[in-house]
Chain A
Amino acid sequence: MNNPSQIQQSLFRMWALAKFELIRLFFTKRGSLALLAFVTAWFLILYYPVNSAVSIVASDGFKEMAKDTFGMLGLSALLNWQVSEFTLYWLIALYSFPVFALGASSDQTCADRTRGTLRFISLRATRNEILFGRFLGQVLIIALLILITLIATAGMAWWRDSNLLSPALLKVGQLFIELNIVVLPFIALTSFFNSFLRSAKLTSVITLLFFGLGTIIISLLSDKIPNAQYLYYIFPGVQLSDIVGQNLFSITHYIIPIVQTFCYLILASIFMKRSAL
């Protein structure tokens, strides 16, 4: 076949849109500044809390106290990790990357829609291609940033003890997959909000209200209707408290965010098709 199939063309356009997002981060002034701020923040996190915590945990005097404290919080399994650097990294990354993902992906199509740029693009790509291409771009950006912080943490461990390189790299692989699955529904949620909102600021406000007011409303409903507690499953990150301790492996911890991602993208697709450009 000389001509690519429709599916190939569609995938090509999605990939072109995703690549454009990567270029937006690495080759524009605003993107470079955001990247610099991210690197600086993580340098401070790794250099002070993580680095300091490793020496504390490693000292015999604090080991028992740390075990007691982590045990109370259900985190004792983390102390068994061979590479101590990843213990605190995991605790920080698990909660900071979802928040970071919400902020970083808050403008997937809003600004382009307001400016009219989406009108140029929509004559060359379907609305689903735009939606999934931009989503893929954001996923790749966050994945790349997660990988950078993981490699930096592994590098710190290797610097402390060269024998830790191999276990550190194994941990990099495991945490890379886990963290990426965690952030997926957060990015999908902003994709959904972007399908009908017209500014990144409004997306951030609505996201805040979604988590804040949503939790309050479901909490009040749960008092009256016991089954209402299942509504908590609409919130990305609902499984975070179960996975933070890394105590028990459960496939539902992975299925929940993937199903949430799927649902939010389906909703985004429906809204995107109906919205005016």
Chain B
Amino acid sequence: MSNNSSPLIQVSQLSKSFGSKQALNKVNFDINKGQPVALVGPNGAGKTTLFSLLCGYIQPSSGRISILGHHAGSAATFGKLAALPQDAQLDPRFSIAHQLKFYGKLQGFNNKKSQFEAERTLDLVGLKEVLNEKPNALSHGMRKRVTIAQALIGNPEIIMLDEATAGLDPLHAREIRQLVANLSNETTFILSSHDLSELERLCHQVLFLENGVLREHQNVSNESLANNQQTYLTIRMANDEIEFEQSLLAIEQISSVVKTQDREYLITINAPTNAMTNSSTSALPLDIQILQLCHDKKWIYRQIVNGKTLENQLFS
């Protein structure tokens, strides 16, 4: 995807206060068309406030928001920006088909196209069979998926999903992640979630909010660290191995091994340009050397991650 065009979303010096509480403090960022963007942060960090500002649900105290060149909430963004706001529900008195068709008509579709969009989007979230049901007849997870379907009507350019997979069973959460991945070539998703592994899988750009301040604005990969002196590997082991850290430190390019949590280690590697490919002292690339070590020692590893995990990037 091209990043050369003007950003889809531009936020500058954005602040929002609720009485004496400052929910957002001079936040700046751009979001370009492309891969999904993660919005993370602890409870009360300002994620939902930022979502609400971007959708035009609330007005900023100061600062500027530009969505596709228009201000947030502008009629020019209708049909181009969609959202799943946290805890928003459909009207329980009307069938799902009726409501999705109504949203389609508000987006300017005729009756036939609205019906098609209602069926298509429900099919995308695996719920075509509930077309004529009322929301109250569905489980919490199904209702959530229906509200995701409403965000997909008309293939908008930007979709913001606030805690989209919260409350979904693992199978359907996976289906939603797959859906986001499949659609991310044509739509730019902005995802808020507490599930960092989920965001790590889907997103290349991370907005990390803490106490209303944007602390990080980075890409989640070793690529962004390519010009630095160090790169990282993260390895998760099946068991605690007493000699694990010492054995790794015996490898020449490894400068440190830190146990980040139970059976998870962050390995710091010097000389990033060639460490992952080959070594001056060994014919094998470094990650293969580590796997060989595990094999020789009969240590079972669960996962090896190229770089820091998102969790470690944000919290370690």
Interface residues of A (CB under 8 A from B): 4, 6, 9-10, 12-13, 16-17, 20, 23-24, 28-31, 112, 115-117, 119-127, 274, 276-277
Contact = CB atoms under 8 A, between A and B. Distances in A.
A276 B88 contact: no
A9 B88 CA distance: 26
Contacts of B93: 24, 28-31
Name the residue among A20, A124, A125, A276 with the largest chain B CB count within 10 angstroms: A124
Nearest to B108: A9
Contact of B91 (A9, A117, A123, A127): A117
Contact of B55 (A9, A17, A123): A123
Contact of A119 (B59, B88, B91, B102): B88
18 contacts: A6-B75, A16-B105, A20-B102, A23-B98, A29-B93, A115-B91, A116-B89, A117-B91, A120-B88, A120-B90, A120-B103, A121-B106, A123-B81, A124-B78, A124-B107, A125-B78, A127-B73, A277-B52
B78 A123 contact: yes
- 8 closest Cβ pairs, A-B complex: A116-B88, A124-B106, A277-B57, A119-B85, A28-B93, A276-B58, A119-B88, A115-B89
B75 A126 contact: yes
Given A12-B108, A117-B91, A123 B59 contact: no
Contacts, number: 74
Nearest to A112: B91
A243 B77 CA distance: 48
Nearest to B90: A117
A117 B78 contact: no
Interface in B69-115: 73, 75, 77-79, 81-83, 85, 87-91, 93-94, 98, 102-103, 105-108
A65 to B, nearest CB: 50
Nearest to B106: A124
A122 B90 contact: no
A4 to B, nearest CB: 8
B44 interface: no
Given A4-B108, A115-B88, 11 more contacts: A6-B75, A16-B102, A20-B102, A117-B90, A119-B57, A119-B88, A120-B103, A124-B103, A276-B57, A277-B52, A277-B58
